[in-house]
Structure 1
Amino acid sequence: MLENTFTIVALIAASAFFSIAEISLAASRRLRLRQLADEGDARADRVLRVQEQPGDYFTVVQVGLNAVAILGGIIGESALSPHFAALFGLWMSAEQAQTAGFVASFFVITSLFILFADLFPKRLAMTDPERLALRVATPMGWCITALQPLVWLYSRTADALFHLLGLPTRRDDRVTSDDVLAMMEAGARAGVLPEREQQVITNVFELDTRMVGSAMSQRERIAFFLRDDPDDVIRVRIAAEPFSTYPVCEGDIDHVVGYVDAKDLFQRILNNQPISLQDDSLVRKVLIAPDRLTLSEVLEQFRQVHEDFAVIVNEYSRVVGVVTLNDVMSTVMGDLVGPDDEEQIVRRDENSWLIDGMTPISDVLHALALDALPHEAEYETLAGFLMVMLRRVPRRTDSVVWGGYKFEVLDVDRYRIDQVMVSRLPQGADTGAVPTAA
């Protein structure tokens, strides 16, 4: 009895070892293993190599688990059945006691293996996979060497099946932006990463998909000078519309010839020098960029020409806006760093928002916790959304219902939508796309 008990305990321990080896390798994070390897841990390098080609490793695990399970069943049944049969024989017939003893021994052995050889070690391996993977790496290497013939046979057979079915035999370990964002979200939920920092990282990844129109100052908000503007007009314009940079145009805004930096203008004013935009030393060469660029592409153009200001034009060479490096960085930093002007999205209460019509649609989605709006490819701003949904230029009191929200136009200035009231609808209200005309 004592010998059988010791054997069962040894088999459970062996099964637990293989369970830990299996789960710890699968759950180990490559970034953490790479960090340990860079710190000089040779075992981490070994585990990384095994993760790249895990076939032999998992073959040994499965051989071990199945062999131990079979041996455990055989030894456990022969070790415990007679004792349970003798116990049940006190109030059952011999045949019934034999059957009950077999069932009881099967239940006990199976329960011991499930609890101590499967559930407990696997949950333990999930909690600290990298540390346990390093600890079992060396003994698993011994097992692979000892069982090399079986490993070769089963591994090659499995590889043949993979090739026959056209399945990949190596794990794809490429880290995508979605993987990074998921890690950031998990870190924010765990309290490791502050929510604002998570949003900054998310904004950085959105630079590749966010169009320049979402960050630029629109055409009607551009303060510019004409090349032949006299000194007094320039001084009045600077006082009325203080900006860091002004486009310089020939005739009208669609013929931009350069830009002038406010610092250069202030220097001349402080030195009591006249200001003339005919002076080529004052007017700098301007970067002209198409409106179909993403913010990431705009940053790359800024880097190439060593500028931080660009005029944005459409396919008809019509100026549609201007963008600065500060505009792009404000998009990245969100509410950590932003312009001094009025916020585009103002939350009035728990269920309503006052939003500028030129607000980028990505900011609207974030504020309202929406995944998407219909026909998103056709517009970039909240005003564009309303135009697409209404199929015309909106008027005051026009509204659209979508996704549990009502978007109502409050103010229109010369066909430009200034303000939109967004209200959360009560539970159970119709949430489909419902345009309502004034």
Structure 2
Amino acid sequence: MSDLIIIIILILLNGIFSMSEVALISARKSRLSTAAKKGSRNAATALKLSEEPDRFLSTVQIGITLIGILTGLFSGAALSSEFAAWLASAGLSAATARVVAQTVIVIIVTYLSIVVGELFPKRIGLNASDRVAMAVARPMHFLSVLTLPAVWLLSRSTSVLVNLFGLNKESNRVTEEEVKSVIREGTDAGEVKDLEQNIMLRALAMGDQRVSSIMTPKIDLVTLDASMSPDRIKEIIRQDTHSCYPLYDADHESIIGIVHLKDIIFDICNDSFNLSDAAKPGTFIPEIMQAYDALDILRNKGVHCGLVCDEYGEVQGMVTLCDVLSGLVGSVEVGKDDAFIIERADGHSWLVDGQCPIYDFMLHFDLDGEEIPSGFTTIAGLILEQLKKIPHQGETLTYKGLTLEVVDMDGVRIDKILVTRQP
């Protein structure tokens, strides 16, 4: 009976080692680090062990190996002898009883070792990795100190083999793709809202975009010029109301500043009103600058709009804080006519504006898991990249299971695209 108790204890100890191994490997270092900074000694020890995998794994392997040897000795000698004697008393021959006893004992002990000593403890360590890691960290650290000579020998031997086969230690830095994966897992689990996921994924995507991808192109800008009469200015503002307008010189050749609506709305009816006097110097931003760097410039200068220029100093567009906000939360649809993507009545096709940002397009059609194409910023740019020419009205192409048909051209500019899913 005492041998049976010893075997059960050994199997449970094996389970503790297995649970510790999985828990310390799968525990999140960020949580352990946070707990350690709050004063948890167990978390600090667990973090230290996770950063020394050779030492920790050697300790675990020594424990599991010794337990396996002891379990085999007790189950093979004592239990099988007692069980064989009982079988012999039941009428079996001594030789047959010995074989049957050894077979049954091996099967039972193996089953218990696998289920109770391996699988179940590992599941516990996986499901509650952080708590288990902190609970077993200090005992495991004590064992690693107690068995230091053997641990050192095993660790050094492992390091020699790792270096011999060129298995260098990989970086533990968290990649952007891993962050996106965690966000999506949180959404699937209900911990992260869909809106939160959308904003976070957009924030990560916009970090790789240039300011030219979120600006309003020059061709779409509503501008004023210094020679305009007050009535003409009021007419433009009434038709296209914006917070700021680029101001051209009287010859409409170069932009001399930016006019803010709030600076002229009350003075425009005065006889002494002069549009040039109301203009403020423009903040110029290179088109190759990253979107977040442009945001820093606008924030540091205390302005909410900037002029985007190319390498020759020519203005190519304008970017505002609203453009940055749209990049983070998506385009704000004032009405259906203003939406970049409009679903048609059939429910199987969509009318897409050529200036629809490529990220919004891919997100809408569930292509956000794909790599975002580079070299262009709109769906019109994607079509030009795929066709390698200026398309004509009615021309079609296939892209990732979607059929794109150019249904309207504004000169050489792609205005509207009809998108349908392939069956």
- How does the TM-score come out when normalised to structure 2? 0.91
* Matching residue of 2:51: 52
* Deviation sequence 1:329-369 (CA, Å, 0-9, x none): 1110226x566771111223543211100112121111112
| Deviation of the 1:113 alpha carbon | 0.6
Task: Give the gaps of 5 or more residues in structure 1.
Answer: 427-438
Partner of 1:156: 156
Note if contact 1:76-1:106 (Cα within 8 Å) is conserved in structure 2. yes
Does the C-alpha gap of structure 1 residues 71 and 350 become closer, same or farther in structure 2, counting only changes over 3 Å? Answer: farther
The whole-number CA distance in structure 2 between the counterparts of 1:23 and 1:142 is 18
Q: Distance in 1 between matches of 2:2 and 2:276?
A: 103
Asked if 1:114 is matched to 2:118, the reply is no
Tell me by how many angstroms 1:232 deviates: 2.6
Q: Distance in 2 between matches of 1:117 and 1:372?
A: 40
Taking the aligned partners of 2:327 and 2:138, their CA distance within structure 1 comes to 50
Structure 1 segment 261-272 matched on structure 2, within 5 A: 261-269=260-268, 272=270
CA contact 1:56–1:151 (8 Å) conserved in 2: yes
Query: 2:48, 2:371 → 1: CA distance?
Result: 46
1:373 & 1:143 partners in 2: Cα distance?
47
- SS at 1:376's partner residue? coil
* Gap runs ≥5 in structure 2: none
User: Which stretch has the larger CA shift, 159-168 or 377-386?
Assistant: 159-168
User: Residue by residue, what CA displacement relative to the aligned partner does 1:260-310 show, whole Å, maximum 9, x if unpaired?
Assistant: 10000113137x45431232xx21111222322332222122234332211
Q: CA deviation at 1:209?
A: 1.5
Does the residue aligned with 1:278 lie in a helix, a strand or coil? Answer: helix
1:281-430 to 2 correspondence within 5 Å? 282-334=278-330, 342-348=338-344, 350-370=347-367, 376-426=373-423
| 2:244 counterpart residue number | 245
Q: Secondary structure at the match of 1:202?
A: helix
**Alignment length (residue pairs):** 420
User: Residues 276 and 252 (structure 1 numbering): CA distance in 2 closer, same or farther, change over 3 Å?
Assistant: same
* 1:69-218 alignment, distance < 5 Å: 69-86=68-85, 89=88, 90=90, 93-168=93-168, 172-218=171-217
Deviation string 1:168-210 (CA, Å, 9 cap, x unpaired) is 45x7432332222222111100001101111101111112222
For residue 87 of structure 1, report the CA deviation from its aligned partner: 5.7
Pick the aligned partner of 1:278 from 257, 276, 286: 276
Deviation at 1:412, TM superposition (A): 1.5
Distance 1:236 1:375 in 2: 41
Identity over the aligned pairs, expressed in percent?
30
What letter is aligned with 2:273? I
d(CA) in 2 for partners of 1:9 and 1:236? 90
After superposition, the C-alpha distances for 1:19-38 in whole angstroms (9 at most, x for unaligned) are: 11111111111121122223
Letter in 2 for 1:19: S
Distance (Å, rounded) in 2 between the aligned partners of 1:147 and 1:218: 69
Distance of aligned partners of 1:368 and 1:375 in 2 relative to their CA distance in 1, 3 Å threshold:
closer
Contact 1:208 1:297 in 2 (8 A): no
- 2:80–2:101 Cα contact (<8 Å) kept: yes
Distance 1:101 1:321 in 2: 86
- Report deviation, 1:250: 2.1
Amino acid at match of 2:339: E
1:35 match: 34
Distance change >3 Å, CA 273–CA 18, structure 1 → 2: farther
Q: Decide which moves more: 259-268 or 362-371.
A: 362-371
CA distance in 2, matches of 1:253, 1:330: 30
Aligned equivalents of 1:274, 1:87: Cα separation in 2? 117
Aligned to 2:58, the other structure's residue is in SS state: helix
Q: Output the CA distance in 1 between the equivalents of 2:253 and 2:71.
A: 85
CA contact (8 A) 2:351 2:416 kept: yes
Superposition deviation, residue 398 in structure 1:
1.3
Distance 1:395 1:78 in 2: 87
Deviation at 1:251, TM superposition (A): 5.0
Q: Secondary structure at the match of 2:39?
A: coil
Q: Match of 2:176, as an amino acid? A: S
**Alignment partner of 1:10: what SS?**
helix
Per-residue CA shift, 1:237-266, capped at 9, x if unaligned?
222221110101125665111111000011
CA contact (8 A) 1:211 1:292 kept: yes
Note closer, same or farther for the CA distance 1:253–1:34 as it changes in structure 2 (3 Å cut): farther
Residue 374 of structure 2 aligns to a residue whose secondary structure is helix
> Deviation per CA, 1:146-181, whole angstroms, max 9, x where unpaired?
212212222222233334444445x74323322222
Q: Distance in 1 between matches of 2:227 and 2:80?
A: 106
| 1:10 and 2:9 aligned | yes
Structure 2 contact 46–138 (Cα < 8 Å) conserved: no
Deviation larger for 120-129 or 409-418: 409-418
TM-score by length of 1: 0.88
Matches of 1:192 and 1:254, distance apart in 2: 54
Whether contact under 8 Å (1:24, 1:130) holds in the other structure is: yes
Question: In the TM superposition, what whole-angstrom CA distance separates every residue of 1:68-115 from its partner, at most 9, and x where no partner exists?
Answer: 011111211113323443465557554343323222211111111101
- C-alpha change, 1:372 and 1:254, in structure 2 (3 Å) is farther
SS of alignment partner, residue 40 of structure 1: coil
For the residues of structure 2 that align with 1:105 and 1:422, how far apart are their CA atoms?
68
Distance of 2:194 and 2:241 partners within structure 1: 34
- Secondary structure in 1 matching 2:9: helix
Give the whole-Å Cα distance in 2 for the aligned partners of 1:309 and 1:364.
25
